[in-house]
């Protein structure tokens, strides 16, 4: 992957929150491991480049992962000299999509997008005689994901801001806490949970956004990245969300994850809003580690707790959160400073448990905000997601 490097700059002069830069036949991904101090784009030419960029977390965030994967294959397909049949082109694309899904298995958006794209190319190949028609249909569908995501995020922002203003005390000045990064850097633009914060701010009712550092961090899988990128690559809340909030001039405060309960105890939080990597059919939600403890604190302090995510984050094939596989990360993230990239700080020989995600049970979630509208509770312990879908015109309940 060749790189395009611009001079390092502070947030004030960095003018981009665009994680994905695409034009037909070309894809560049903002290297989020270098933010906030350096803006660097990596040139992505193949699905293999896309797989590595997702695995090494050049690009991260459930929606952004799916879009980056689809577009990396679109670029390869567009530039490919292919002499096979229409059926052969479909097989080529399907094999690459299955490979891309293996880059980061937890977030459902990637596997959901791959399933839909595989179905598309199979259907086109059944009637097409020219492989170019199959490749073109794939490229068109992958490009549509990029455009649709921003439109959906703005709908999430609208539905979320409207619902929060209608259901919160003192709706004229809201202080809201968020975790990890769910903004433009985690999507094709605007964001999900952070998109709701943007919409509240645009509506003039946001008093302050609080963002947690989000420890430890997602560690790169290769020795080179772990050891060469040490000073720049950790902590998605302090590095990415704080960067977005300062970039947009939104009043915001960074806190340690461990300070969140005390902030709520002080009465300084009117609501908590987070993203999602995978939501089960009953509303149980997997998200970055630390989300569950925020939900427990919010429940104790009677602070509403919202999940904001595109509907594609809901995995209706699993009934509850205990079926969601949670990745565990390297012990080095806790044994060494800088999330595993610096000096040893913990005693050698100590055991480590380091899950990267946790599951918040539906009974701790106030509402799930999607682009289709806000899903409220069917009972204390579950959400009626299927019924919600059946009430939405044109929804697919499969």
Ligand X SMILES: CSC[C@H]1O[C@H](OP(=O)(O)O)[C@H](O)[C@@H]1O
Say whether residue 277 binds ligand X (CB under 6 A): yes
- Report which DSSP code applies to 391: T
Distance CA 290, CA 224 (A): 28
Tell me the H-state helices in 282-335: 291-300, 332-335
Min separation Cβ 64 and ligand X, Å: 7
CB of 187 vs ligand X, minimal distance in Å: 6
Nearest-approach distance from CB 60 to ligand X, in angstroms: 4
Quick check: 180 binds ligand X (CB under 6 A)? yes
Residue 396 is classified by DSSP as -
Pairing outcome for strands 278-280 and 314-315 = parallel
How many angstroms separate the CA atoms of 233 and 339, rounded?
9
CB of 195 to ligand X, least distance (A): 9
Which distant-in-sequence residues (6+ apart) come within 8 Å of 173 by Cβ? Answer: 205, 206, 207
Could you tell me how many residues make up the chain? 398
For residues 284 and 286, give the distance between their C-alpha atoms in angstroms, rounded to a whole number: 7
Among 89, 184, 236, 241, binds ligand X (CB under 6 A): 236
Query: Out of 103, 111, 192, 282, which residue is the one contacting ligand X (CB under 6 A)?
Result: 192
Q: Who's near 227: CB < 8 A, 6+ residues apart?
A: 341
- The yes-or-no answer on residue 277 being catalytic is yes
The tally of CA atoms less than 13 A away on the side-chain side of residue 20 is 35
| 121/229 with CB nearer ligand X | 229
Among positions 55-114, residues that touch ligand X (CB under 6 A) are 60-63, 107
How much of the chain is in helix, strand and coil states, percent to nearest 5?
Answer: 45, 20, 40
The smaller minimum CB distance to ligand X, of residues 180 and 303, is found at 180
User: Which residues are 5's β-sheet partners?
Assistant: 40
The CB-of-185 to ligand X minimum distance in angstroms stands at: 9
**How many residues at the interface with ligand X, by CB under 6 A?**
18
User: Taking CB under 6 A as the rule, does residue 32 contact ligand X?
Assistant: no
Q: Which stretch binds ligand X (CB under 6 A): 225-233, 246-254, 269-277, 388-396?
A: 269-277
157 in contact with ligand X (CB under 6 A): no
Q: Which region, judged by CB under 6 A, interacts with ligand X, from 5-13, 164-172, 185-193, 296-304? A: 185-193
Q: What is the DSSP letter of 312?
A: G
Contacts of 8 (CB under 8 A, 6+ apart): 37, 38, 39
Question: Which of 277, 284, 315, 358 does the annotation list as catalytic?
Answer: 277
Candidate segments 1-9, 54-62, 80-88, 253-261, binder of ligand X by CB under 6 A: 54-62
Among 46, 111, 187, 238, binds ligand X (CB under 6 A): 187
Query: Which lies closer to ligand X via its Cβ, residue 89 or residue 312?
Result: 312
Query: Distance (Å, rounded) from C-alpha 237 to C-alpha 268?
Result: 19
What is the nearest approach in angstroms of ligand X to the Cβ of residue 71? 17
Q: Which residues are catalytic?
A: 277
What does the binding site for ligand X look like in residue numbers (CB under 6 A)? 60-63, 107, 180, 182, 186-187, 192, 218, 236, 274-277, 287-288
């Amino acid at each position: 992957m060749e790189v395009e490097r611009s001079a390092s700059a502070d947030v004030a002069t960095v003018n981009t929150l665009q994680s994905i830069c695409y034009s037909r036949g070309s894809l560049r991904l903002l290297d989020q491991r270098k933010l906030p101090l350096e803006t660097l784009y990596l040139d992505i030419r193949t699905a293999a480049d896309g797989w590595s960029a997702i695995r090494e977390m050049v690009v991260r965030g459930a929606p952004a992962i799916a879009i980056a994967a689809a577009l990396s294959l679109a670029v390869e397909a567009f530039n490919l000299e292919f002499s096979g049949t229409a059926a052969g082109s479909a097989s080529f694309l399907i094999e690459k999509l299955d490979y891309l899904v293996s880059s980061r298995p937890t977030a459902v958006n990637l596997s959901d997008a791959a399933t839909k794209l595989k179905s598309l190319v199979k259907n086109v190949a059944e009637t097409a005689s020219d492989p170019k028609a199959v490749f073109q249909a794939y490229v068109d569908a992958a490009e549509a994901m990029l455009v649709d995501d921003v439109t959906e995020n703005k709908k999430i922002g609208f539905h979320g801001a409207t619902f929060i203003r209608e259901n919160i005390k003192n709706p004229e000045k809201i202080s809201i806490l968020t975790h990890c990064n769910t903004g433009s850097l985690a999507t094709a633009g605007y964001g999900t949970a952070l998109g709701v914060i943007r919409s509240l701010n645009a509506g003039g009712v946001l008093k302050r956004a609080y963002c947690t550092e989000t420890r430890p961090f997602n560690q790169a899988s290769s020795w080179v990245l772990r050891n060469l990128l040490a000073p720049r690559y950790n902590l998605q809340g302090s590095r990415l969300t704080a960067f977005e909030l300062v970039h947009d001039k939104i009043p915001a405060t960074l806190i340690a994850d461990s300070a969140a309960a005390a902030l709520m105890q002080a009465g300084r939080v009117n609501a908590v809003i987070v993203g999602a990597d995978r939501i089960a059919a009953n509303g149980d939600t997997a998200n970055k580690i630390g989300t569950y403890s925020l939900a427990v604190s919010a429940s104790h302090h009677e602070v509403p707790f919202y999940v904001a995510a595109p509907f594609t984050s809901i995995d209706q094939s699993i009934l509850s959160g205990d079926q969601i596989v949670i990745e565990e990360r390297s012990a080095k993230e806790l044994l060494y400073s800088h999330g595993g990239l610096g000096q040893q700080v913990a005693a050698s020989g100590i055991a480590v448990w380091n899950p990267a995600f946790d599951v918040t049970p539906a009974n701790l979630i106030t509402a799930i905000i999607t682009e289709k509208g806000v899903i409220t509770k069917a009972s204390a312990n579950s959400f009626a997601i299927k019924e919600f879908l059946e009430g939405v015109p044109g929804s697919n309940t499969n």
